[in-house]
Structure 1
C-alpha cells in the first residue's frame, strides 16, 4: 500500500446484486498499535437506503464495536520530535493537517452521521509496524435502490490508527449506479440538486471508457454534450487516466489531454498515449485497459430550472464512436411561499366591498408549468335583497281599513376563506397564465335584517297620509356556512418565477350572483 488507508470495490453497484467493499489499512507507525475503523453508508440525500451489509469477513481477530458508545481521547499524535538542550526527546505539535488526515475525531463522526444513515465499525489489536490488513464487506443493494444510472453514491471510511489519539484518516469512495457492467459510461454527482443552493456550486461529471480492441489506442476522443445551463468555459479537469499533462496551445510529441469546444460540446482528446486493448496479447492487468476523465463545471449566469440530459461519443483512434448512456441532472421541486393581497369586485352584489390577504405555495422558481395552492382570507361586506309587500289591513281601534307597506332589507358582513388550486404556466420571465378550481366558505357570517312597517290612510285604495311607522332590526350569526365553488382563469405581469408581480383573476362561480374579478399583488420568495 502506498497510503495507510484505502477503500476499494470489486465492481460498481447494480440493482439487486451484491458487491464487495474492501477496507485496507496499514500501520505506518514504528510501534505496535491498537485502533478502530468506521464505515458509513446510505447517504441521507436519498429517500430510501441503497445498501445493506450482507456479510463481513475479518481475518485478524477484529471485533465489531457499537458506534454509539465511543470515548474520545482529545489527544493528538503529531509524529514530530525535536532534540532538547538536555539531550531529551521533546514532542511538539507543529505538523499541519492535510486533506485526508484530520485531528478532531468527534467532529468528523458527527459530520458523517449527519450525511449517512448507517454505519458499522470494528477495533483491531496488536498491529505490527508496516503490517497491512484487509476487511471485506459484502453489500447487497436493496429493492428500493435508486435506479438512476447516472447517479453517483458514496461510502465513507474513517481510520483511527492509534486508539490513544484522535488522529484519523478519512476516505470517501464514490460509486456509479449501473444497470449493466458496461465500461463505457457517463455519470454525474448532480443528478438531484437544490435550485436555491446551486448558484456557486460546480457539479462533477465522469466519463469512463475501456479499450476492448486487440491493439493499443494512441488517440482517444471524448465528444461530450454540455447542457445549456452550464458554462463550458469554466470546465476544470479534476482527474484522468491515463495520467497525462494538459496539452499546451502548440503541438507536442508527449502524452497530453487536450480540451476543445463546439457550440454544444466539450471535446476531451488524449493524444500520444498508449492504452492497451483488453484482447491484446500479453495484457494481464484488465484495469490497465480502462480510462476516465473527471471534470467539474459552473452553472451559467441565467440558467433555468430544467432537467438536462447529456452523453458522450467515445472514439478510439479512427474507429466508430461508442455512445454512452445519458447522464441526467435534475432539480428538486423546492418550496416557494408567496404573500398575496388585493381586492375582489363582485359584479352582481350591491355595495360590495371585499379585501383579502393570503399566502401561496408552489414549487420554487419553476421554469414553465407548475401547480400552485393558495389560502386567502377576505373581509366581505355587501347588501342583500330588499323585499317590499303591500296589503290592506283593519285598524283594530276604529275598524277603518288601512294601507300597510312592509319593507325588509338585509346586509352581510362575512369573513371568507378561499382555497384556489391552479395550474400555472410561465410564458417568459415576466408573463404568467393560470387556470384552476377553487372553493370558498364563510367561516363567519353576520346577517343583519331590518324590517320597516308603515301604515297609511286608505283613500280610494291609494295610500294617503302616513299614520305610523315602526322599524325593527335583528342579527343572525353563523359559522362555516355557504360553501361556494368555481372555475378561475388569471394572468400576471412582473417577475413570473420569483419576486413581485401583479395579477388579475376572473372567477366563474357555480352559484348565481357570485362571479367576481380579483385584482392583486403578489411576492414570491
Structure 2
C-alpha cells in the first residue's frame, strides 16, 4: 500500500514538473518566411511572405501588424510598402511582424539583401511615407513608437525618432521601472544608420552637469494612439533642473544612451530591439512605461513617455492597470489606480457606437472616475449640439459604463484604411480606492466592449496586487507560569519575567497561512524548595576546630536562580480577519543562569541527643549549571491590527519543567 502511494505521488510530481516545463516552452515558427521584391525604375515594392494566420476558434479575424526596416534609416508600417534608395550600396531589408488574434507562434523575421548600383531619381514616383511624415505628432521634435505590447518571452521593437533642427545632443532611454520591481526589458540591439555613438557605460555621476544646463523641458506621453498630454517646464535655476531630472531618472533601473549628429540628417530614426523577460509574466495586464529624454546642447529638452501594456497574447481589445503592484506598507488613505481600456474595430465599416461596460472591484470608488485622455477625440454629450460625443454613468449593478456615441471609428478590413492605428480607440482614466485600509489581496477588473449592435468582446482580467514584502515585528511583554510544577523533589515557583523580541513575517497575508519567525530574550526568576523529608545519613560538622560526625534524620533545601532565556519561535499563522490572528508552532529555547544560590539543611541531634541542630551546606557550582536546549510547543493569538500596526498577543506554551506557562505581550507589525 505504501509503495503504491509513493508511486502515485511520484507520478503526480513528474506530471506537475512536465506541465510547468510545457508552460515555459516558447512556440517556434517553422515556416520559411521571406520577402518578395519587385523593382521598376528604381522603385522597390516589398511583400512579406509569412506563415498563414490561425484563427482562434470562435475568435476574431487575425491580422499582422508590420514594421519594415529598409536598411538605410527609413521605416514603414504598411503591409506592402514601396521605397527608393537615395544612395548606392548594399542594404539589408527586414520586416518585424506581430500576429494579432492569432493562435500560432510569432513569425520569424525575414531578411533580404538589396544591391543599389547608383542613386535613384525616382523618389517623386513613390507615395509619401505615412509613418515618417506623421511620426512627430506629439511635439514635433522627439517621440518613441512601439510596434507591439510587451509579451514575456518575445522581443519588441521601438523606433526612436528625433527632429534635430540642427542641434547636437544625447538621447537617453530609461526602462525597467523600480515600482514594477522587475528587470523586464533587456537591451538587445540598436541600429546605427546615422552613425549614432552608443554610450554603453552611462555614468550616473556625470548626468548632473548635463541636467544643470537644461533651461526648459517639454513632456509628452503616448500609448498608441497619442494621449494628447503635453506639459512644458521652465527651470529658473540649475538646481531646479537637476531635481526634475533626478526624480525622473530615479524611477528607473536601466539607462541606455547615444549621441546624435544633425550633419547626418535633419530627421533620424533609430530601431531599438528589447527582449521581454519571462519575469514579466507576473505583471501581465499591467501598464509599464519607457521614457526617452533628448538633451540638446542648447538646453531645450524633450521628454517622451510611451505606455506599454504587458500581455499574454497580442489582442488590441484589452484592459490594463497601473500600478500593477503596490506597496501595502506605504499605501495612502486614498490610493489611485490608473486604468486603460483599448479597443480596435476589425470590421469593414465604421463603428458608430462603442460602449465599454467596466466591471471594477468593490474596493474602488466608482464615483471618483476621472477621464485623463481618450480616442477618438470628442466632447462630452453634455455639450450643446454635440455630434460625436461621450458619456459615462454607473448602472444599478455597479457597472461603470463609458459610451462613445455617433463617432466614426474605421475598421481594419476597410479598403481605404492607410493607418492601422486609426482603427484603435482607448480611454485612460483614474479612480480612487476606498479610504479605509484595504486587504492585502489582488483587485481584478475586466471590460465588455460593444461595437454597435454586435455581441460584446470581453477583455482580459486586469489585476493589481500588492508586492510580496516582509514585515519586521517588535514585541515586548511578560510571561508567568501556571501552578507549582515539580522536578524530582523540587517544587518550583516562577516569578513573572519581562521579554523583548523581534520577528519577521510576510506583510499582511490575506486568507492564507503564513510562516512567522521570531527571536527574543526574557528574564525570569525561579524559587525552588524541597519540603522537609525524613531521611537518615551521616554528616561531618566542624566544631571547635575538630570534625565531628553526626547522624541526621531529616533534610530540606532551597534554591534561587535568575535566568536570561533566548528563544527562537517558529510558527504557522493565519489571519482570521483584520482583527484576530492565530498561530501555533515550536520554540527552540536556551536558558542561561545569571544568578544562583542554593542551600541544603540537615537536621541532626547533638551528642546528648536532646537538642536539634541544623547544618547548612551551599552549592557553589550551581551558577555554572545552565539548561539544556529545549523545544517548547505553543499556541498564540493576536487581537488588534493584525495586518499592520499594534496588537495584543497571548501565548501558551508547554515546558517539561515549567509545565504550562503563558505570556501576554504587545506586538507591532511594521
TM beyond 0.5: yes
The answer for the alignment partner of 1:72 in structure 2 is 210
Deviation (angstroms), 1:38? 1.3
Equivalent residues in 2 for 1:32-181 (5 A)?
Answer: 32-65=166-199, 66-68=201-203, 71-72=209-210, 74-75=212-213, 99-100=231-232, 103=235, 106-127=242-263, 131-161=266-296, 163=297, 165-181=298-314
Would you say 1:256 and 2:412 are equivalent positions?
no
Deviation (angstroms), 1:21? 0.9
TM-score if structure 2 supplies the norm length?
0.67
Deviation (angstroms), 1:46? 4.3
Would you say 1:351 and 2:493 are equivalent positions?
yes
Secondary structure at the residue paired with 1:377?
strand
Moved more, 494-503 or 292-301: 494-503
Deviations 1:481-522 (A, max 9, x none): 42222222233333343443333221134x354321222233
Asked if 2 retains the 8 angstrom alpha-carbon contact of 1:101 and 1:170, the reply is: no
Match of 1:281 among 399, 411, 415: 415
The answer for the alignment partner of 2:519 in structure 1 is 375
Rounded to whole Å, the distance in 2 between the matches of 1:123 and 1:340 is 56
Pick 1 or 2: higher relative contact order, CA cutoff 8 A, min separation 6: 1
Asked if 2 retains the 8 angstrom alpha-carbon contact of 1:51 and 1:139, the reply is: yes
Deviation (angstroms), 1:330? 0.5
Secondary structure at the residue paired with 2:568?
strand
Equivalent residues in 2 for 1:214-363 (5 A)?
Answer: 214-248=348-382, 254-262=387-395, 263-302=397-436, 303-347=438-482, 348-349=484-485, 350-353=492-495, 354-363=497-506
Rounded to whole Å, the distance in 2 between the matches of 1:145 and 1:340 is 38
Secondary structure at the residue paired with 1:72?
helix
Identify if the C-alpha distance between structure 1 residues 394 and 100 changes in structure 2 by more than 3 Å, giving closer, same or farther: closer
Deviation (angstroms), 1:234? 0.6
Asked if 2 retains the 8 angstrom alpha-carbon contact of 1:417 and 1:442, the reply is: yes
Identify if the C-alpha distance between structure 1 residues 245 and 411 changes in structure 2 by more than 3 Å, giving closer, same or farther: same
Deviation (angstroms), 1:392? 4.8
Secondary structure at the residue paired with 1:515?
strand
The answer for the alignment partner of 1:87 in structure 2 is none
Deviation (angstroms), 1:423? 3.3
Secondary structure at the residue paired with 1:315?
strand
Identify if the C-alpha distance between structure 1 residues 101 and 498 changes in structure 2 by more than 3 Å, giving closer, same or farther: closer
The answer for the alignment partner of 1:210 in structure 2 is 344
Secondary structure at the residue paired with 2:432?
coil
Deviations 1:286-334 (A, max 9, x none): 2221111111111112233221111111111111111111101111244
Deviations 1:138-188 (A, max 9, x none): 112234444432122221111123x2x333111121111122111111111
The answer for the alignment partner of 1:456 in structure 2 is 605
Secondary structure at the residue paired with 1:195?
coil
Moved more, 309-318 or 48-57: 48-57
Asked if 1 retains the 8 angstrom alpha-carbon contact of 2:357 and 2:402, the reply is: yes
Identify if the C-alpha distance between structure 1 residues 157 and 101 changes in structure 2 by more than 3 Å, giving closer, same or farther: farther
Identify if the C-alpha distance between structure 1 residues 167 and 481 changes in structure 2 by more than 3 Å, giving closer, same or farther: farther
Would you say 1:391 and 2:523 are equivalent positions?
no
Secondary structure at the residue paired with 2:364?
coil
**RMSD of the TM alignment (CA)?**
3.2
Identify if the C-alpha distance between structure 1 residues 26 and 402 changes in structure 2 by more than 3 Å, giving closer, same or farther: closer
Would you say 1:14 and 2:151 are equivalent positions?
yes
The answer for the alignment partner of 2:579 in structure 1 is 430
The answer for the alignment partner of 1:91 in structure 2 is none
Would you say 1:488 and 2:625 are equivalent positions?
no
- Which stretches in structure 2 are left out of the alignment for 5+ residues? 1-135, 218-229, 486-491
Deviation (angstroms), 1:421? 2.6
Rounded to whole Å, the distance in 2 between the matches of 1:51 and 1:421 is 39
Rounded to whole Å, the distance in 1 between the matches of 2:540 and 2:195 is 115
Moved more, 235-244 or 63-72: 63-72
Structure 1 segments of 4+ aligned residues over 6 angstroms from their partners: 394-401
Asked if 2 retains the 8 angstrom alpha-carbon contact of 1:100 and 1:170, the reply is: no
The answer for the alignment partner of 2:325 in structure 1 is 192
Rounded to whole Å, the distance in 2 between the matches of 1:519 and 1:428 is 21
Rounded to whole Å, the distance in 1 between the matches of 2:264 and 2:175 is 29
Asked if 2 retains the 8 angstrom alpha-carbon contact of 1:402 and 1:457, the reply is: no
Asked if 1 retains the 8 angstrom alpha-carbon contact of 2:338 and 2:429, the reply is: yes
Deviation (angstroms), 1:457? 5.1
Rounded to whole Å, the distance in 2 between the matches of 1:254 and 1:6 is 32
Aligned residue pairs: how many? Answer: 496
The answer for the alignment partner of 1:517 in structure 2 is 662
Rounded to whole Å, the distance in 1 between the matches of 2:652 and 2:596 is 26
Deviations 1:182-217 (A, max 9, x none): 111111112100123332442211111111123221
Asked if 2 retains the 8 angstrom alpha-carbon contact of 1:148 and 1:177, the reply is: yes
Secondary structure at the residue paired with 1:33?
coil
- Which stretches in structure 1 are left out of the alignment for 5+ residues? 80-97
The answer for the alignment partner of 2:488 in structure 1 is none
The answer for the alignment partner of 2:75 in structure 1 is none
TM-score if structure 1 supplies the norm length?
0.84
The answer for the alignment partner of 1:26 in structure 2 is 163
Asked if 1 retains the 8 angstrom alpha-carbon contact of 2:211 and 2:242, the reply is: no
Deviation (angstroms), 1:50? 1.7
Deviation (angstroms), 1:478? 4.4
Rounded to whole Å, the distance in 1 between the matches of 2:622 and 2:537 is 30
Asked if 1 retains the 8 angstrom alpha-carbon contact of 2:374 and 2:425, the reply is: yes
Match of 2:615 among 460, 469, 484: 469
Rounded to whole Å, the distance in 2 between the matches of 1:465 and 1:512 is 38
Identify if the C-alpha distance between structure 1 residues 475 and 389 changes in structure 2 by more than 3 Å, giving closer, same or farther: farther
Higher helix share: 2
